[in-house]
């Protein structure tokens, strides 16, 4: 419910206001007409008050009041009016706030001009301000002493504090899987990065020019692989394979499928013990025996305590399935460069042929940086894979074999 109480001087013309409408109660008190006349200017220079035809045509009491106040306050030379203008507006259901507004009016009036004086340029209240007051409560006060217009005093609930706006902060984008860095391909068998490949611009013919560290790929004198011919048959000490069932992890390093194994597997050859580090696959076989190339080959890479390397090569032909190789295929990762721990164990001894006779010679890694001083042990008897097992790898790497390198008069020994 809206309730308004107005105390105005006679010049406001409130006597012409009609009775309040239903749902509202408006009281008006006016001073005597003689008091208004006494305050009016006198003498020959007195100007008659300007007619207000616009206000007479307005039927809404509040709008008529606003127009008359605006016209009176805007009239040059108007005499200051005594008394006060009190307006209290409230809404149904907001009694406490209306009471607060009502209590604020007398206190503001008693404070005098020192409290309520406002500059002449202050904006006048409008019907829009009154409409807003229905929601938050408004008290207007015209102090005695003739100030042209008093600034409206709004009484409302405390405003929510907001932090002061600071300078804009530019945040870097979060890093997502689309921007994640790709790890390198390095491992102990020379699968280093730097855009080398088996074909095209980064192919084997260019390896030696890609990085200074790869120079041996072009000018080395003991490079691998080679075509093994004319081995010297001698009574070589058998290679001792100290392999056992082990956990393993599979990674597609961008050049081959590689299997990493923990310490605990080793070989002894030539009086040295080498620990198995990893094994990986090539298609077709890199090594040849008397000019014959095989479907695939397996390289088991070992390293001793001084960093010297020994690689055991196993050749694959077509035939029955190879269960140990199938165990690796069953644990292939979904993504390249993602190492995945296998769900089972593998015994590397099951990768070997039953016939353990071998060839041996000194060579190099078959991938950059093509480091030399590697002892090669090439098993003379191949093992078999099914066409399906070969095709599975071929779909990932159709060709990942380095071309043959010159034997350069190297001595090749073969066990009896």
Q: Which of 42-46, 83-87, 377-381 has the highest mean pLDDT?
A: 377-381
Cβ 117 vs Cβ 108: under 8 Å? no
Q: Are residues 148 and 209 in the same domain?
A: no
Going by pLDDT thresholds of 50, 70 and 90, the confidence category of residue 205 is very high
Residue 172 lies in a domain: no
Residue 40 lies in a domain: no
Active-site residue, 255 included: yes
Q: Which of 3-7, 47-51, 152-156 has the highest mean pLDDT?
A: 47-51
Residue 168 lies in a domain: no
Out of 191, 255, 280, 322, the active site residue is 255
Q: Are residues 271 and 149 in the same domain?
A: no
For 350-378, write each residue's pLDDT tens digit: 999 999 999 999 999 999 999 999 999 99
Cβ 207 vs Cβ 217: under 8 Å? yes
Distance, in Å, from the CA atom of 35 to the CA atom of 40, rounded to the nearest integer, reads 9
Distance, in Å, from the CA atom of 352 to the CA atom of 315, rounded to the nearest integer, reads 9
Of 127, 154, 181, which marks where a domain is finished? 154
Q: Are residues 14 and 126 in the same domain?
A: yes
% of the chain surpassing 90 pLDDT: 52
Q: Which of 88-97, 147-156, 266-275 has the highest mean pLDDT?
A: 266-275
CATH number, domain of 257, equals: 3.10.200.10
Q: Are residues 206 and 143 in the same domain?
A: no
Distance, in Å, from the CA atom of 213 to the CA atom of 267, rounded to the nearest integer, reads 29
Number of domains the chain contains: 2
Q: Are residues 132 and 260 in the same domain?
A: no
For 280-291, write each residue's pLDDT tens digit: 999 999 999 999
Q: Are residues 136 and 57 in the same domain?
A: yes
What's this model's pTM, rounded to 2 decimal places? 0.56
Cβ 45 vs Cβ 27: under 8 Å? no
Q: List the domain range (segments joined by +) for residue 58.
A: 2-35+51-154
Of 126, 154, 182, which marks where a domain is finished? 154
pLDDT at res. 58:
63
Residue 70 lies in a domain: yes
Above 60 in pLDDT, residue 186? no
Of 124, 154, 184, which marks where a domain is finished? 154
């Amino acid at each position: 419910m809206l309730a308004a109480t107005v105390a105005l001087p006679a010049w406001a013309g409130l006597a012409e206001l009609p009775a309040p409408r239903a749902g509202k109660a408006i009281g008006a008190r006016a001073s005597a007409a003689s008091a208004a006349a006494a305050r009016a200017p006198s003498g020959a220079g007195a100007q008659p008050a300007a007619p207000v035809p616009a206000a007479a045509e307005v039927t809404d009491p509040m709008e008529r009041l606003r127009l008359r106040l605006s016209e009176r306050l805007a009239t040059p030379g108007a005499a200051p009016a005594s008394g006060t203008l009190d307006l209290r507006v409230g809404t149904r259901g907001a009694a406490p706030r209306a009471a607060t507004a009502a209590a604020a009016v007398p206190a503001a009036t008693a404070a005098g001009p020192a409290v309520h004086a406002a500059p002449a340029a202050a904006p006048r209240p409008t019907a829009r301000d009154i409409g807003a007051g229905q929601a938050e409560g408004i008290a207007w006060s015209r102090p005695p002493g003739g100030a042209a217009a008093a600034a409206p005093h709004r009484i409302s609930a405390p405003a929510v504090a907001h932090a002061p706006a600071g300078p804009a902060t530019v945040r870097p984008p979060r890093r997502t899987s689309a921007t994640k860095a790709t790890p390198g391909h390095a491992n102990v068998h020379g699968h280093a990065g730097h855009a080398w490949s088996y074909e095209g611009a980064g192919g084997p013919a260019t390896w030696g020019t890609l990085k200074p560290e790869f120079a041996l790929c072009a000018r080395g004198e003991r490079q691998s692989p080679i075509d093994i011919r004319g081995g010297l048959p001698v009574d070589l000490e058998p290679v001792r394979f100290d392999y056992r069932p082990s956990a393993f992890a599979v990674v597609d390093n961008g050049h081959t499928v590689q299997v990493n194994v923990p310490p605990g597997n080793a070989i002894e050859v030539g009086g040295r013990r080498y620990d198995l580090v990893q094994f990986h696959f090539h298609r077709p076989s890199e090594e040849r025996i008397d000019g014959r190339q095989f479907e695939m080959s397996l390289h088991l890479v070992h390293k001793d305590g001084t960093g010297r390397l020994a690689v055991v090569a196993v050749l694959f032909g077509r035939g029955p399935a190879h269960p140990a190789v199938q165990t690796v295929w069953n644990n292939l990762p979904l993504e390249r460069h993602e190492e995945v721990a296998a769900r089972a164990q593998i015994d590397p001894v099951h990768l070997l042929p039953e016939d353990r006779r071998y060839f041996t010679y000194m060579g190099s890694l078959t991938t950059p940086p093509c480091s030399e001083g590697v002892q090669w042990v090439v098993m003379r008897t191949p093992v078999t894979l099914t066409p399906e097992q070969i095709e599975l790898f071929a779909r990932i790497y159709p060709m990942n074999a380095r071309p043959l390198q010159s034997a350069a008069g190297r001595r090749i020994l073969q066990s009896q």
